[in-house]
């Protein structure tokens, strides 16, 4: 990928060259145009322009009109309007009509360099993500996680390290943060990539079926056992077994699981002999890591499955990733449903302020629902989102910083957070329990049990 360029448009030649010199010393490549028409000609012949600095007051083609023409050519180019103190109101109007920002003359050198650095860094990240995503999806059909935020980059470093070894890994994160996606990534990059990846949601199976599903059974071992079933350990032999929501597994089943992990041998129900298995164990839980050992997972089993523990941040703690996630989902579902949409800036601001109790999965379902039901519209508006988010605004708390701050300043228990997530999922699903269970990543039966526990009605 070529380095992005900065286009400077100002009819004051001295000002344009001063800015060019400032940015060139910073290591950027600049292009200078002394009129709007000259700038449009440059746009026709140059690629990888990431930023355009446009003077507001120019003859023939003014800054606002030029900004609109630039956006028509390439909407990914960030346009910053340059203006004097006397035309601030006009600059604000330019923002309303599509400009990304404005700066005042005379310039504060440090301020303008910070804005340019931030803009160019974001442009490069977006292009890199799109490029890598196209390569990955074209090669395997697998979508790797977006990881531009510092929090997710740390997670990805651990995922890459985990893929180089065969140690048991415990992935801990709220519902919808992408634990299974990361587990599949670890498997896909490991030496076991050519062998099966077998997932099981321990919270979705009735207690009496967990052992038979994991370890298998012989025909006639119990009522309803009409044929032999080899179980998931044998099915995954040579590959990876992913135990999702392992903290929901009953303690007596945990004892038998521990024995299998220690001995690397499994005995099916009704069988007299054991079978040797070679399986890598990846586990996941949506409960806080400090509550897992002893309370939800037997201490001896916890140490067995958590040689490496990876903590996955919720989406509200990695908001920098939201714009790129939105772009991915708009493109993905645009291809699926035949609707090419873009997100208006105000709509993105609303998403950036929303707390996302269902995390990335909730964001994906929101975007899919909007794209799937789009008619001939070209963009996603604030109103589209409010109809899905229940009309929550920053003033109402659910979709604003006030709601987000609850997660950081309040000592909420897991039960209260879980209750809140269930209520939010039911609200987003408009009372449809199957849809709410899908948003939360749990079975319908598990949702019913949790609703009953917390006294929640639809």
Same fold, 5-128 and 317-454: no
- pLDDT value at position 394? 38
- pLDDT value at position 269? 85
Per-residue pLDDT of the chain (458 residues; tens, 9 = 90+): 457 899 999 999 999 999 999 999 988 999 999 998 999 999 988 878 889 999 988 888 888 889 988 888 887 789 998 887 666 777 777 788 788 888 888 888 888 998 898 888 887 776 665 555 444 444 444 567 888 888 898 999 999 999 999 999 999 999 999 999 999 999 999 999 889 999 999 887 777 788 888 988 888 777 777 788 888 999 998 999 999 999 999 888 899 999 999 999 998 888 888 889 999 999 999 999 999 998 999 999 999 999 999 999 999 999 999 998 998 999 888 888 888 888 888 888 899 989 999 999 999 989 988 888 877 667 888 888 887 775 443 333 333 333 333 333 333 445 666 777 787 778 777 788 877 877 777 777 788 888 888 888 76
Topology of domain 5-128, CATH: Rossmann fold (3.40.50)
- pLDDT value at position 2? 59
Q: Are 64 and 91 in contact (CB under 8 A)?
A: no
Give, in order, the Cα–Cα distances in Å from 207 to each of 248, 249, 252, 293. 9, 8, 10, 20
What CATH number matches the domain at 150-311, 3.40.33.10, 3.40.50.300, 3.30.1050.10, 3.40.50.620? 3.40.50.300
In the chain, where the domains are located: 5-128, 150-311, 317-454
For 317-454, CATH number? 1.10.8.60
188 in helix, strand or coil? helix
- pLDDT value at position 279? 95
Label each residue of 126-181 as H, E or C.
HHHHHHHHHHHHHHHCCCCCCCCCHHHHHHHHHHHHHHCCCCCEEEECCCCCCHHH
Label each residue of 276-317 as H, E or C.
ECCCEEEEEECCCHHHHECCCECHHHHHHHCCEEEECCCHHH
Helix (H) / strand (E) containing 384: helix 382-389
- pLDDT value at position 131? 54
The encoded tokens of residue 382 equal: 């604030």
């Amino acid at each position: 990928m070529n380095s992005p360029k900065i286009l400077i448009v100002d009819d004051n030649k001295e000002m344009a060259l001063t800015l060019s010199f400032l940015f060139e010393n910073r290591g950027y490549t600049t292009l200078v145009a002394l009129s709007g028409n000259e700038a449009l000609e440059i746009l026709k012949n140059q690629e990888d322009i990431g930023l355009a600095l446009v003077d507001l007051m120019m003859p023939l083609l003014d800054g606002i009109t030029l900004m609109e023409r630039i956006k028509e050519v390439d909407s990914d180019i960030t346009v910053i309007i340059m203006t004097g103190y006397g035309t601030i109101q006009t600059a604000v109007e330019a923002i309303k009509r599509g400009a990304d920002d404005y700066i005042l003359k005379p310039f504060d050198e440090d301020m303008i360099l910070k804005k340019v650095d931030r803009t160019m860094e974001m442009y490069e990240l977006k292009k890199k993500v799109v490029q890598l995503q196209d390569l990955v999806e074209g090669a395997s059909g697998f979508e790797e996680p977006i990881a531009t935020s510092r929090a997710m980059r740390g997670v990805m470093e651990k995922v890459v390290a985990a893929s180089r070894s065969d140690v048991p890994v415990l992935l801990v994160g709220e519902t919808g943060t992408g634990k299974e996606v990361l587990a599949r990534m670890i498997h896909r990059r490991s030496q076991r990539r050519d062998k099966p990846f077998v997932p099981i949601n321990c919270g979705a199976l009735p207690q009496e079926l967990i052992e038979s599903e994991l370890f298998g059974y012989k025909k006639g071992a119990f009522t309803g056992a009409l044929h032999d079933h080899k179980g998931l350990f044998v099915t995954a032999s040579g590959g990876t077994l992913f135990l999702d929501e392992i903290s929901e597994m009953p303690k007596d089943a945990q004892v038998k699981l521990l024995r299998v992990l220690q001995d690397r041998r499994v005995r099916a129900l009704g069988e007299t002999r054991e079978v040797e298995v070679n399986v890598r164990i990846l586990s996941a839980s949506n409960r806080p890591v400090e509550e897992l050992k002893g309370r939800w997972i037997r201490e001896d089993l916890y140490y067995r499955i958590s040689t490496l523990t990876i903590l996955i941040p919720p989406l509200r703690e990695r908001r920098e990733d939201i714009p790129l996630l939105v772009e991915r989902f708009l493109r993905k579902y645009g291809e699926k449903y035949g609707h090419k949409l873009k997100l208006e800036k105000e709509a993105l601001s609303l998403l950036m302020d929303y707390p996302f109790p269902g995390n990335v999965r909730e964001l994906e379902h929101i975007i899919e629902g909007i794209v799937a039901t789009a008619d001939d519209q070209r963009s996603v508006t604030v109103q589209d989102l409010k109809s899905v988010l229940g009309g929550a605004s920053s003033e109402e708390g659910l979709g604003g910083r006030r709601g987000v701050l609850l997660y950081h300043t309040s000592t909420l228990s897991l039960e209260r957070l879980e209750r809140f997530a269930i209520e939010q999922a039911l609200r987003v699903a408009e009372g449809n329990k199957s849809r709410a269970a899908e948003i939360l990543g749990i079975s319908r039966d598990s949702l019913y049990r949790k609703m009953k526990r917390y006294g929640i009605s639809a």
